Amino acid sequence: MTRAVKILTDTCNRIRLTMADDDHHEQSLQGVHIHFIGIGGSGMCGLAQIALQSGAFVTGSDRAVSPDTRHLESLGIHIGYRQEDGEIPPETQWVICTAAIAVNNGELITAKNRGLKILKYSQMLGRVMELKTGIAIAGTHGKSTTTAMLACILAAAGMDPSFVVGAQIPQLNGSSHGGAGEHFVVEACEFDRSFLNLRPHIAAVLNIEPDHLDYYRDLDDITEAFRQFTAQVHPEGLVVIAADSAACGRAVSSCRASVLTYGIDRAADIQATNLQLVDGCFEFDVRVRGAACGRLALRVPGRHNVGNALVAAAIGAHVGAGWPEIYKGLQTFGGAKRRSELIRNSGGIVLVDDYAHHPTEITATLAALRMRWNPKRLICVFQPHQHSRTRCFMDEFSASFSDADIVIVPDIHFARDTEADRTGVKANTLVEKMCAHGVQARYIPELGQVGEYLLQIARAGDLIVSMGAGNVWKVTHELAKRI
């Protein structure tokens, strides 16, 4: 063991949790009959699988068949696709629903009339977390990737963690797993303050920026929610935060747990130094309180992923993973679905799909893709997500595409917007702003039209990325069949 690893291990041992089992294993799910409305959602399907593996009897419903619902059915879970009164079995005790379920949903009305216990997804996530040692990864950006990195590290260390990630992770065979180990790693979302249903033993706050401004008032309001979140971390636990974020610093002002900072080439408890680009991805040294710890190598591009890896490594070491397992786990991780996901590399044209829908994410992702692939032209198909978000971040969006040679913008993806939001801002307005910033941007309303246009202009040396939280992924998947 190197001196730096010993420093980190000793530090973690001093703040390691000493809770008795009955303090955090509060209620078993054994034998509980649970029905999930919207069971096919990325988080819901993972939670349903963990509930099943914890001994619950699970049923569910969704609006359409999907790969996730087929997988759950293969495990023996009965799923209905009408979401009507008769879908809830008579023996049901708990009903779990996503935030997207309307108040007039037939099953939800039935559950209320029958006096069943009704929980939101985040509330159920918090209950399941009580059965394990909870680890929650929060922040405006990077949650899915960091959660997946940590799950890979713990799996490489033989700890068999449970986890729920908001994306499919090929290396982990899905978005969730109910493991035999003591740790439960989850992606903690700040929207609707849902992460306040979690009381983890260990947490990370990767960054805090304005987002979800259809729900939060401003950055101060968002930071206050994160402050409440970190205040709920067990007092003998650990919170890892970004050293360069003033908002993260304010967010731990009421935190009773120990706090570790992380940073890239800056003063922090855990630092990444001597970054080197190798085949488009970074290798770097890790220092713990100034002492050399070892070198890590990533298989995913982008400087932002160096920070994500630092957090995963720090928490992995805290719960007992050795440095060889940390290295192996990060080498195992090749990326999550829709996070700079390679769709096809053939005929000199690279097709990538990415979930980025916030200006900071767009800037970081485009820079990472350019470093990774060094294309002659980087063509980005950006589908704005929500009219309200587009309005709030109009100037930031228009300035975030400097690493793209061509940007194509279809109509805004409608989600959680009011009709006033929908009529108040249009995609072509964003394109006009982009052009004013010197971006070669073009408005093409329909995704099908976008695909036809790309077929006309694509040539060898191009990297084409579909980008957004909506259904823009269809563009590159269809191109992969036709180019």
Residues 105 and 160 in one domain: no
**Mean pLDDT value of segment 347-352:** 94
Q: Residue 233: which of 260, 263, 262, 265 has the closest Cα?
A: 260
Given a cut of 90, is residue 312 above it in pLDDT?
Answer: yes
* Residues 182, 132 contacting (CB under 8 angstroms): yes
274-280: list long-range contacts, CB under 8 Å, 24+ apart. Answer: 275/303, 275/306, 277/371, 280/371, 280/372, 280/373, 280/374
pLDDT of residue 16: 38
Residues 185 and 286 in one domain: yes
* Residues 383, 468 contacting (CB under 8 angstroms): yes
Amino acid at 182: E
> Which of 121, 140, 169 lies at the terminal end of a domain, its last residue?
121
| Domain presence at residue 475 | yes
Strand 291-297 relative to strand 281-288, pairing: antiparallel
Total tally of structural domains belonging to the chain? 3
Question: What is the gyration radius of the CA atoms in the chain, in angstroms?
Answer: 22
Residues 362 and 454 in one domain: yes
Residues 66 and 115 in one domain: yes
Given a cut of 90, is residue 104 above it in pLDDT?
Answer: no
Domain range spanning residue 362?
A: 341-482
Reported confidence tier of residue 27, pLDDT bands at 50, 70, 90 = low
CATH number of residue 275's parent domain: 3.40.1190.10
pTM, two decimals, is 0.84
CATH number of residue 114's parent domain: 3.40.50.720
Residues 387 and 472 in one domain: yes
Express each pLDDT in 50-61 by its tens digit: 899 888 999 999
**Mean pLDDT value of segment 443-472:** 95
Indicate the DSSP class of residue 96.
E
Express each pLDDT in 108-141 by its tens digit: 999 999 999 999 988 999 988 888 899 999 999 9
| Domain presence at residue 127 | no
Residues 145 and 236 in one domain: yes
**Mean pLDDT value of segment 347-354:** 94
Residues 150 and 206 in one domain: yes
Residues 164 and 289 in one domain: yes
* Distance from C-alpha of 115 to C-alpha of 109, rounded to nearest angstrom: 10
Q: What are φ and ψ of residue 149, in 5° steps?
A: -60, -45
**What are 41's two structure tokens?**
């959602």
Express each pLDDT in 174-207 by its tens digit: 888 878 899 999 999 888 898 999 999 999 999 9
CATH number of residue 388's parent domain: 3.90.190.20
**What are 74's two structure tokens?**
């293969």
Mean pLDDT of the chain: 89
Residues of the chain with pLDDT > 70, as a percent, come to 94
**Mean pLDDT value of segment 43-70:** 88
| Domain presence at residue 82 | yes
> Which of 94, 121, 148 lies at the terminal end of a domain, its last residue?
121
Residues 147 and 66 in one domain: no
Reported confidence tier of residue 24, pLDDT bands at 50, 70, 90 = very low
Residues 173 and 295 in one domain: yes
> Which of 332, 364, 390 lies at the terminal end of a domain, its last residue?
332
Q: Residues 6 or more apart from 252 whose CB is under 8 A from it?
A: 205, 227, 230, 239, 241, 259
Where is 146: in which H helix or E strand?
Answer: helix 143-156
